[in-house]
């Protein structure tokens, strides 16, 4: 009788051990998301720039891009480290603009001096100044500030002063009110646009 009880106890303990082992080796629930496949400088993405990673439940950031999200040609607005999960607010689009405040628009603006535009980073606050084309080297052209305290959403992504369309300068995307966006568009048609960067950069 004693031996039989010992055998039953041993069998029960073995079953409990197997159950615990199964629970221990069972993989935790995870979600697949897109992440940077390498250190990215920002700019237009290609499929080779991203990879799929698995994140444990509860650690997935809000707005994380699923593996099927289209990324080819979308603009990453700031640098990302290898392995960093990509979210909707890191890419140029409605979600990104909404993060800068209600009622704002994404206004593309071509700054004439590309070298100064390449000093910009996402989040910088700038003034945009328009100068009429010079008609007399001895006289400075009139200038006017057409947008004050606008925030940079996406700095220039190209390194050349002339892009593939043959346009000079450097293109930046600003978070602007509708009125500011209108004045920027009007100024861009016949003026040279320059910038002044506000202080307290992070």
Mean pLDDT of the region 159-172? 63
**pLDDT recorded at residue 145:** 95
Distance CA 153, CA 112 (A): 18
Q: How many CB atoms lie within 10 A of CB 85?
A: 18
**pLDDT recorded at residue 159:** 47
Average predicted confidence (pLDDT) for the chain: 83
Cα dist. 19→6, 8, 36 in Å? 20, 17, 38
Mean pLDDT of the region 122-136? 85
**Does residue 202 register a pLDDT over 70?**
no
pLDDT band (50, 70, 90) for residue 16: confident
**pLDDT recorded at residue 74:** 86
Distance CA 16, CA 23 (A): 11
**pLDDT recorded at residue 174:** 94
**pLDDT recorded at residue 44:** 79
Distance CA 181, CA 108 (A): 9
In the chain, what percentage of residues exceed pLDDT 70?
Answer: 76
**Does residue 100 register a pLDDT over 90?**
no
**pLDDT recorded at residue 170:** 92
**Does residue 163 register a pLDDT over 60?**
no
Of residues 198 and 7, more confidence is placed in 198
Distance CA 182, CA 147 (A): 10
Over residues 22-61, the pLDDT tens digits come to: 555 556 689 999 999 999 987 778 899 999 999 998 899 9
């Amino acid at each position: 009788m004693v031996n039989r009880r010992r055998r039953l106890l041993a069998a029960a303990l073995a079953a409990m051990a197997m159950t615990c082992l199964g629970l221990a080796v069972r993989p935790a629930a995870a979600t697949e998301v897109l992440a940077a496949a390498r250190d990215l400088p920002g700019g237009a993405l290609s499929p080779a720039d991203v990879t799929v990673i698995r994140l444990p439940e509860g650690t997935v950031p809000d707005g994380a891009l699923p593996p099927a999200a289209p990324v080819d040609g979308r603009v990453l607005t700031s640098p990302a480290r290898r392995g960093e999960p990509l979210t909707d607010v890191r890419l140029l689009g409605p979600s990104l603009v909404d993060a800068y405040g209600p009622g704002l628009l994404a206004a593309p603006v071509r700054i004439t001096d590309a070298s100064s535009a390449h000093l910009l980073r996402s989040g910088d606050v700038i003034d945009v100044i328009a100068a009429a084309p010079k008609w007399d080297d001895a006289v400075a052209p009139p200038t006017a500030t057409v947008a004050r305290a606008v925030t940079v959403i996406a700095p220039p992504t190209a390194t050349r002063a002339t892009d593939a369309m043959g346009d000079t300068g450097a293109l930046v995307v600003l978070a602007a009110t509708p009125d500011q966006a209108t004045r920027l568009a009007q100024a861009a048609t016949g003026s040279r646009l320059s910038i002044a960067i506000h202080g307290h950069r992070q």
